[in-house]
Structure 1
Amino acid sequence: MSLSLHAHELRPAALALQEVVPGEFNVTWRVPAQGDLRLSLDVVFDQQSQPRSLPTALFAGGYYVERWRASHPNGFVDSTITIDGLENTLTDALVRIQWLDGREQVARLLPDSPQMRVENKAGKKEIANMYFVLGVEHILLGIDHLLFVLALMVLVTGTKQLVTTITAFTLAHSITLAASVLGLVSIPQGPVEAVIALSIVFIAVEILHKLEGRSTLAIRKPWLVAFAFGLLHGFGFAGALSDIGVPAHEIPLSLAVFNLGVEAGQLAFIVAVSILMLTLRKLPSVHQWEVRTGHSASVASALPVAYLVGGVSALWLVDRTIALVI
């Protein structure tokens, strides 16, 4: 069943064409889905393309996946590919074409530009721009990762400790992201997503411990905990990147700029939260409260942040754990 899903469905669709014999390609088309409902998106090739097999389809992992074989006299070079219906969504579509001689092209189609012209090979600039934007989008749309960073910001004390902690988190997820993409380590995404939710619950509880005056390892050395959990979050980033795929001839470039995009998005979030906190502290009512109680605005906000972040992540933990056993 095909249906336009709600606007909050922002995962990208993905089209992969892999040449298996000269002029013939295995086609894989993945569309975001919820249950047995999918976004109303369809691939349209030019008139020179011919189907060589009947399509097979299934719903798996939150996607509608369709596979078939198609041929094109020019190997699709200089042809057009259109994602019909993309203009009616908020999502994008990632296209990856691989030829027998090792050439590859990647492209990102948007609602306002749902068509592409196939070239012989994607340039470095095109790849860099695409994967940087994907990295920024992934972190800013990854609410669980942002809540973890927010909880760390509340847990730490002072700018120096914040810089050390965020640096440790960045270094850790960069390591596992690279190791996973390069095929050195492979972990199923289901358990990873569940443990990511658990990591957020853990930090939320540590915030409460800090407010109670306790001194735990996470409070004394938050950078150590950030590094440990950062390794897990890196596998989460890798799962998203593996869904997208990377061009084989530009793996280091794709990996590097995707990671830079993640870091840029993360830094933007930290700066935005910091500015918000500084702005709140300048409000007369907040300043008077600080003088009267002897507590800072950051202390006042820590309790609701701990309960909000902890509550949401606990729900995720239950939901993701149930998904593992069903």
Structure 2
Amino acid sequence: MTRALRLALAMLAALWALPAQADEMRPGYLEFTQLGQGEWKLVWKAPVIGGLATRTKPAFPAFCTQSPPQARVDGLVLIAESRLTCSKDLAGAQVGLTGMDQAFTDALLRIAPMRRPVQAARLTPDRAMVTVSTVPDGREVARSYFVLGIIHILEGYDHLLFVVALVLLIGAPGRVVKAATAFTLAHSITLVGSTQGLVGLAQAPVEALIALSIVFLAVEIVKRDPERPNLAERAPWVVAFLFGLIHGFGFAGALREIGLPESDVPTALLTFNLGVEAGQLVIIGAVLAAIALLRRFAPSALRPAVLSTTYAIGIISSFWFIERIAG
């Protein structure tokens, strides 16, 4: 077996390992929403992969009693809902998760009192409990949503594959940066517009269009002819901008799941976008580095590796498109 073929098969295996539910949030999500005096709704969304579903459970003060949780499984996520009846206000008390030291992924905490701003925090094995505050810490909001943006681009596999395909199509670092900037600008526009209620699209067609955008890039890579450059090669920033508008609605859908802190919406949106951009730069850097290494040490393997990766991307994104259209 030649080195080029082994490399191609390794890339195919890595891509096939991506889960079918491409855009699910991989961190856990714990929400406390106040319904009335001393009454709270507790929602716990735990991905099956990562240990949260089997090794952790919500934690709250001893002066709160919990109703029997109503649990269901949605895709790869366990969702449990219950009610808390608390004899005192939660302000100043601690909430979070027990068993985080045995899990392999983090969780986002959202606390929504009736007459106070929403509080957001990131729960980790080193910080599994958070004190409920009367005024959320703006720096905590910034940190939480920045990390959330990074996680979403790195573990939202359809967005990740779009960026990989964009790099494979363009190749030149300078042009890749321009296209990535156009993509970021576009998804920022629709993300802000959608979360603020100015524009909107139903999530199902958005997810299908995101998959279709990856298929389009894969086709453009495969049929590339150096003598007759296509539109995506001649003006990649235009294509990246147009598809970025669609991907922005996908990012907005992720933010709708976790909500935005009422007192720090601009901070949360800005840092989430910065996190997405940071994640994109990591992906771009890794793909460009792999291309540079192949070009230097195994130039004959570069084209087979690119084509094999592209076919895998195209097949997976076609499956996502069909799955999302079907329903």
TM-score, normalising length: structure 2: 0.82
CA distance in 2, matches of 1:101, 1:244: 19
- Per-residue CA shift, 1:146-171, capped at 9, x if unaligned? 22112111222634432322221111
**Pairing 1:116–2:120 present:** no
**Pairing 1:85–2:89 present:** no
Matched with 2:317 is: 313
**Pairing 1:29–2:44 present:** yes
CA distance in 2, matches of 1:110, 1:184: 34
What is the Cα deviation at residue 259 of structure 1?
Answer: 0.4
Which among 211, 216, 230 is matched to residue 216 of structure 1?
A: 230
Which among 227, 238, 241 is matched to residue 227 of structure 1?
A: 241
CA distance in 2, matches of 1:55, 1:143: 31
What is the Cα deviation at residue 39 of structure 1?
Answer: 4.2
Amino acid in the other structure paired with 2:85: S
| Structure number with higher relative contact order (C-alpha < 8 Å, ≥ 6 residues apart) | 2
Matched with 1:107 is: 121
CA distance in 2, matches of 1:280, 1:66: 47
Where does the alignment leave 5 or more consecutive residues of structure 1 unmatched? 1-7, 290-296
Moved over 6 A (4+): none
CA distance in 1, matches of 2:117, 2:87: 17
CA distance in 1, matches of 2:200, 2:68: 33
Which among 179, 199, 208 is matched to residue 213 of structure 2?
A: 199
- Per-residue CA shift, 1:118-144, capped at 9, x if unaligned? 222321111111111111111111222
Amino acid in the other structure paired with 1:12: P
Q: Which has the larger radius of gyration?
A: 1
**Pairing 1:17–2:27 present:** no
- Contact kept in structure 2, 1:104 and 1:120, CA below 8 Å: no
Which among 56, 59, 62 is matched to residue 44 of structure 1?
A: 59
- Contact kept in structure 2, 1:29 and 1:66, CA below 8 Å: yes
**Pairing 1:135–2:139 present:** no
RMSD, matched Cα: 2.7
Residue 243 to residue 280, structure 1, CA distance change in 2 (3 Å): same
CA distance in 1, matches of 2:161, 2:144: 25
SS at match of 2:223: helix
Amino acid in the other structure paired with 1:311: I
SS at match of 2:292: helix
- Contact kept in structure 2, 1:154 and 1:298, CA below 8 Å: no
TM-score, normalising length: structure 1: 0.82
CA distance in 2, matches of 1:234, 1:27: 29
